[in-house]
Structure 1
Amino acid sequence: MPAHPHHNHHRARTQDGIDWSSRLAFFRQVDELDAEARRVVARRLVRPLSDRPTVLDVGCGTGGMAVALVEALSARGGGTLVLVDGTPEMLDAATTAARAAATYESDTTTASVRVRPVLADLSTERPVDLAGPAQLVWASNVVHHLPDQRAAVAGLVEAVAPGGWLALAEGGLDGKFLPWDLGVGEPGLSDRLSGARAHWFALMRENIEGAVRLPGGWNTVLADLAMLDVTAFSYLVDHPAPPQQAVRDWAVNQLTWHRDVAGHLLHPSDRETVRRLLDPQDPAYLGLRDDIFLLTAGTVHLGRKP
């Protein structure tokens, strides 16, 4: 569930070298396909909170989880949702989507959820100064793009109100979307793409200025930061074949992303297969195939502040 974090005429890049504004359409696709799974996660996270809580969505991306959180808050009487991102286009999209969802009607009444956007660079600004303290801090796939991941989690913990929760969505299982044998190229391309992307990710981390390794799992980080009731749960996003067109479109964008960031790490024969899969004139084109699917699992790590 990739929700992520400057923008000028030439499209500035964040510290990880990724131009997030160029990924806007892709993240909107993800929001659409992950919507039901996110609703379940949001309801689970909001359930134990006090009345009319403040919820902080850090690295809100295009707002898929923001919409789910607004709906969950509305259904139980309202609250405040603070959206934080470092890319203006992303923040605008998330704010628009969340405010539209804030008119969501529960069974009994139309509840009020206040949506407040905050443009911030999380590598230099403290979440507690932006919006804390919050009864729930949600951060999905954003910490691993910051130089010192442990320090970033510590900053998120700072923004949690006493007795409140930090929900850190990191890790899970690599998304699958290609059959084992596509009928073109060598079978097993999906696994080789995942390997190349993992290699790219390691290089991306190494090239972030001031990068610090995270020596262990997220649960140990939360425990080291004195969080209580540290646990985790995973959720599934499952769109089986034959796919709706939105899944085909997502797969084309996902493979394009793989090619752009990690294509140079593939064998030339695999690069040729990828080229064919992305060519609308080729019979193997992903956008027309009926054997494309989307299957992924996200993991949410939880800790409660004393």
Structure 2
Amino acid sequence: MNTTETSTVHSHQNHTGADADTVAMAEMLELDAEVLGTYLSELTAWLDELTDREPRRIVDLGSGTGTGAIALARRFARADVTAVDLSPQMLHRLTKKASALGLADRVIGVQADLNDGWPTLDTCDLVWAAASLHHMADPDHVLAGAFDALRPGGLLALTEMDFFPRFLPDDIGVGSPGLEARIHAALSPGPAVDWTDHLARTGFALEARRPFTIDLPAPLPTAAARYAQVCLRKLRSHLDEQLPAEDLAALDAVLDSEGPHSVLRREDLTVRTTRTTWAARRL
């Protein structure tokens, strides 16, 4: 979706250097995979129901550190997964992760800028694109490439975050209540992208459109607290002059790892968001 919030956190097709932003992005993606593992399992199980036969070749577009690629390799045990991303640093992390999980023979990374066209790949059974398509200069061109890459009957799974995760209670014990709501309002998110018409224009037949609600209650594991800190820290980097000083100070108190209001010390954190997946078929 073309919103300020998501473009600050899901831009792995735009990173080429091993700078601090890339490292932070990689950590966020890996924590996302760890914290939202149940959601990923539910999503891939649903795709398993929709496929017309067991996939043998899968492509993950804008793979980042491999959240989707790894989940798909685990779900479809006979499939080879090609993870395509612009960033060599992201692909290096993916390769290390696949090797550690014993998947190095089935999950491989391919560096490519999808804005320049598809890399040369074998015909595939399933194409996965999670929170990456909206970053492309011409999404329809990328979708057309996915259509051409799929065999007849093959499936495209396209996922977007409907809104950035929320973590904090209304009253965090410092500053005025409602801080997190004001943070997201200040970033002025637009409406979520609806890919239905784009899919039809590029020849796909929409099989299903399904929202997945993520609502993890307190208390959460340590990884979720770190996930909240990394996500909120990323938002903080875009908030100077967007919020009053009192709100920025309160957010800084939440982000301070050692402070009494630190997100790492809280027992009232939750994770709340929704993600929508379009499943479309090449007929």
Q: Distance in 1 between matches of 2:221 and 2:102?
A: 28
Give 1:91 shift.
1.1
**Mapped pair 1:255 → 2:258:** no
Unaligned stretches of 5+ in structure 2? 1-5
Q: Which amino acid aligns with 2:58?
A: V
Q: Specify whether residues 51 and 215 from structure 1 end up closer, same or farther in structure 2 by C-alpha distance, changes over 3 A only.
A: closer
Q: Specify whether residues 241 and 136 from structure 1 end up closer, same or farther in structure 2 by C-alpha distance, changes over 3 A only.
A: same
Moved runs in structure 1, 4+ residues, more than 6 A? none
**Mapped pair 1:183 → 2:173:** yes
**TM-score normalised per structure 2:** 0.86
Counterpart mapping for 1:52-67 below 5 A: 52-67=55-70
Q: Distance in 1 between matches of 2:52 and 2:80?
A: 12
**For 1:153, which of 133, 140, 143 is the aligned residue?**
143
Q: Specify whether residues 73 and 230 from structure 1 end up closer, same or farther in structure 2 by C-alpha distance, changes over 3 A only.
A: closer
**TM-score normalised per structure 1:** 0.80
Is the contact between residue 40 and residue 71 of structure 2 (CA under 8 Å) also seen in structure 1?
yes
Is the contact between residue 66 and residue 98 of structure 1 (CA under 8 Å) also seen in structure 2?
no
Q: Specify whether residues 171 and 147 from structure 1 end up closer, same or farther in structure 2 by C-alpha distance, changes over 3 A only.
A: same
Counterpart mapping for 1:76-95 below 5 A: 78-95=78-95
Deviations for 1:162-213, whole angstroms, at most 9, x for unmatched residues? 21111110132431111011121121111121223345xx7xxxxxxxxxxx
Deviations for 1:212-243, whole angstroms, at most 9, x for unmatched residues? xx997211111222211342112233321122
Unaligned stretches of 5+ in structure 1? 12-17, 104-111, 203-213
Task: State the match for 1:96 in structure 2.
Answer: 96
Q: Distance in 2 between matches of 1:267 and 1:158?
A: 50
Q: Which amino acid aligns with 1:134?
A: C
3-state secondary structure, aligned to 2:113: coil
3-state secondary structure, aligned to 1:123: helix
Q: Specify whether residues 116 and 262 from structure 1 end up closer, same or farther in structure 2 by C-alpha distance, changes over 3 A only.
A: same
3-state secondary structure, aligned to 1:42: helix
Q: Which amino acid aligns with 2:86?
A: G
Is the contact between residue 129 and residue 158 of structure 2 (CA under 8 Å) also seen in structure 1?
yes
Q: Which moved more, 1:18-27 or 1:30-39?
A: 18-27
Task: State the match for 1:7 in structure 2.
Answer: 16
Q: Specify whether residues 235 and 265 from structure 1 end up closer, same or farther in structure 2 by C-alpha distance, changes over 3 A only.
A: same
Q: Distance in 2 between matches of 1:154 and 1:20?
A: 29
Task: State the match for 2:278 in structure 1.
Answer: 301
Q: Distance in 2 between matches of 1:285 and 1:145?
A: 32
**Mapped pair 1:194 → 2:184:** yes
**Mapped pair 1:278 → 2:255:** yes
**Mapped pair 1:122 → 2:114:** yes
Residue-pair matches, total: 273
**Mapped pair 1:228 → 2:205:** yes
Is the contact between residue 54 and residue 136 of structure 1 (CA under 8 Å) also seen in structure 2?
yes
Root mean square deviation, CA, Å: 2.7
Q: Distance in 1 between matches of 2:188 and 2:74?
A: 35
Give 1:298 shift.
1.1
Q: Specify whether residues 246 and 52 from structure 1 end up closer, same or farther in structure 2 by C-alpha distance, changes over 3 A only.
A: closer
Q: Distance in 2 between matches of 1:97 and 1:252?
A: 23
Give 1:258 shift.
0.6
Q: Distance in 2 between matches of 1:240 and 1:32?
A: 16
